[in-house]
Structure 1
Amino acid sequence: MSEEIHTLLETHDNTFLYQLLDRMRQDCAYYLSFGGRHNKYLWAGNPDAQILYMKAIWTHFKEGEKPEWLTMEDIEGFETKMKEDLKDASISG
């Protein structure tokens, strides 16, 4: 997957990457609420890949270019909530 991420980062400009990151942020919020935690609502197809891509895109931006509307702490918050959900599902399933 790291080659896919590298290709994504190298073949798209920052405008596209900002838009993708925002879409992924919205996907996470929907996944955790009205989306019923269904992977089909995540751009990357599953929580682990989604977070991996989001972190890679976010860190790809240089200082001063990083989005003000999404911090690494926000991404890690999504990661924690999504992992809690996966853990809860495996216990009850």
Structure 2
Amino acid sequence: MENSSNVRTMEYIGLDDWDRPVYKCIETGSLWKDITLGRGVPELCSCGNEFDGEPCSPIKSDLTVVFKTKYEESPNRFNFMMLGRLRSDCDYYLGYGNRNKSRLSGEDEKIHIEQMKSIYNSFDEKSKPEWLTWEQILEYERQMLGTGE
């Protein structure tokens, strides 16, 4: 049986500003970063015990690491990012962008809104983003095209 002083139990606590999974060691309370960005086998490095600190030294090889909870990338991650980008483009278009179509997907308001609707509708009800509603998309449509359902 493993010497319990050589075991480190890690609990996933969130993503830092660079999308690196951050773990807290249950035994020591120290924070560790996965420099693989959550892809494959985690490679843990110290981070000065700062959530947004830079990864530094790798965890000692003589330690056995077990995970109480582990980072799992959302299957909707790309669609969330794309929808956020499209929303940001709408805000710019309607504001400082001076309604410049070159800032929109397909350089066309209708294509841009249809893409937002398509991505939004790709989520099941429990996965829909809290930061954007169907009504807000229709409001963008109204402001950009003068229409709306």
Unaligned runs of 5+ in 2: 1-74
The correspondence for 2:78, drawn from 16, 24, 32, is: 16
The alignment of Structure 1 onto Structure 2 pairs a total of residues equal to 72
TM-score, normalised relative to structure 2: 0.47
More helix by share: 1
- Distance in 2 separating the partners of 1:16 and 1:44: 19
Give per-residue Cα distances to partners, 1:36-56, cap 9 Å, x unaligned: 101111123211000000001
| Larger Cα-atom Rg | 2
Match of 1:56 in 2: 118
Match of 2:96 in 1: 34
Structure 2 residue matching 1:44: 3-state secondary structure: helix
More strand by share: 2
- Distance in 2 separating the partners of 1:32 and 1:44: 16
- Distance in 2 separating the partners of 1:38 and 1:15: 28
| Residue type of the alignment partner of 1:33 | G
Structure 2 residue matching 1:67: 3-state secondary structure: coil
TM-score, normalised relative to structure 1: 0.74
Work out the percentage of aligned pairs sharing the same amino acid: 40
The correspondence for 2:129, drawn from 42, 62, 67, is: 67
User: CA shift at 1:30, angstroms?
Assistant: 0.3
- Distance in 1 separating the partners of 2:115 and 2:128: 15
> Cα RMSD over matched residues?
0.9
Unaligned runs of 5+ in 1: 1-12, 85-93
Structure 2 residue matching 1:34: 3-state secondary structure: coil
User: CA shift at 1:14, angstroms?
Assistant: 1.2
Give per-residue Cα distances to partners, 1:28-87, cap 9 Å, x unaligned: 000001001011111232110000000010011001100000000000000000013xxx
